[in-house]
Amino acid sequence: AQKITQTQPGMFVQEKEAVTLDCTYDTSDPSYGLFWYKQPSSGEMIFLIYQGSYDQQNATEGRYSLNFQKARKSANLVISASQLGDSAMYFCAMREGNTDKLIFGTGTRLQVFP
Amino acid sequence: EAQVTQNPRYLITVTGKKLTVTCSQNMNHEYMSWYRQDPGLGLRQIYYSMNVEVTDKGDVPEGYKVSRKEKRNFPLILESPSPNQTSLYFCASSLRGTLTGELFFGEGSRLTVL
C-alpha cells in the first residue's frame, strides 16, 4: 500500500488566490514527520515546510502552511496569495518512525496563471 | 557557498559499464542520501548514511552500491548498469538526518543507460 498519496496530478490556480495541495499518509508509528518540497522546472528540490507528528500547532513558513489533520492522516499544503513563481511540482514526503528513511509521494504539478 | 555538488550532471552509458556518480557537500552534514526520480513515481530513496562508514538501504537499493569513507563525500556506484536504471538521480544532505526535514539537494544527475 502506498504510504504517501497525492491524488492531484495537476492543479491550476489564479494568481493571488490560495490553493490547497492534498497529501494523505499511512503509518502505524506514532512518531513521524511530514514534509513538503517544491521542484521548479529547473529541477532542483527546495524544502518548504515540516510538521512533526507531536507538534501541537500547524506549521507555517511565510505563505506556506501545512494543514495537519492527524485523525484523517492528511497533511495538506496551503499556499496563500499564489504567485507565478509558485508554478512547479510539489512533493509530500514522510519520515516514518525514528528512521532516516524518507518516502515521497508522486507529486502534484501546480500551474499559476495570471 | 553552502552546496551539494553532483557529478556528472548528464551521462549516457551502455549496459554493463561500471559508473560512479559523485556527491560532495561542504556543510559538514552528518546525513547524506541518494534518490532516484522517475515520472509518475516521485522520488525513491536508494541509500542513506548517517555518518562515516554507516550506510543503510532505502526502498530501491538493488543494483546500487554506496560508500561513506569521508564525511563530505557519498558516491553512488552502479557496478553493472541496466536500462531500468535510466533515471534522474539526486543526492541530498542534512545536518541531523530527517528530524526536521530540511534536506539540501544537489542539482541532479540525469543518467541514460542504453
CA separation for the pair B98, B110 (Å, rounded): 25
Closest Cα in chain B to A9: B40
Task: State the pLDDT at residue A21.
Answer: 98
Residue A108's identity, in one-letter code, is T
Do B97 and B44 contact (CB within 8 A), yes or no? no
pLDDT in tens for each of the 114 residues of chain A? 569 999 999 999 999 999 999 999 999 889 999 999 999 999 999 999 999 999 989 999 999 999 999 999 999 999 999 999 999 999 999 998 777 788 999 999 999 999
**Which of B65, B57, B63 lies closest to B83 in space, CA to CA?**
B63
Question: b/e per residue, B51-78, with b = 16+ CB within 10 A?
Answer: eeeebeebbbbeebebbbeeebbbbbeb
A56 Cβ contact list (under 8 Å, min separation 6) = none
Amino acid at the residue A49: I
CB contact under 8 Å between A100 and B101, yes or no, is no
**Which residue on chain B is closest to A99 by alpha carbon?**
B98
Q: Residue A1: what pLDDT?
A: 55
pLDDT tens figures, A64-94: 999 999 999 999 999 999 999 999 999 999 9
Q: In the prediction, which pLDDT does A81 show?
A: 96
Selected residue of B9, B43, B102 to mutate for chain A interface (largest A Cβ count, 10 A)? B43
Searching chain A, which residue's CA lies closest to the CA of residue B41? A106
Residue type, B93: S
- What does the alpha-carbon distance between residue A60 and residue A49 come to, in Å, rounded to a whole number? 7
User: Contact B12/B114 with Cβ under 8 angstroms?
Assistant: yes
* Predicted pLDDT of residue B101: 65
Q: Could you read off the pLDDT of B50-88 as tens digits, one per residue?
A: 999 999 999 899 999 999 999 999 999 999 999 999 999
- Predicted confidence at residue A91, as pLDDT, reads 96
Contact B42 A50 (CB under 8 A): no
Residue B54 forms beta bridges with which residues? B51
- Cα angle for residues A53, A75, A54 (degrees, 5° grid): 10
In this complex, the residue of B45, B90, B107 whose CB is nearest that of residue A101 is B45
pLDDT band at B14 (very low <50, low <70, confident <90, very high): very high
In a 3-state reduction of DSSP, which class is residue A84?
helix
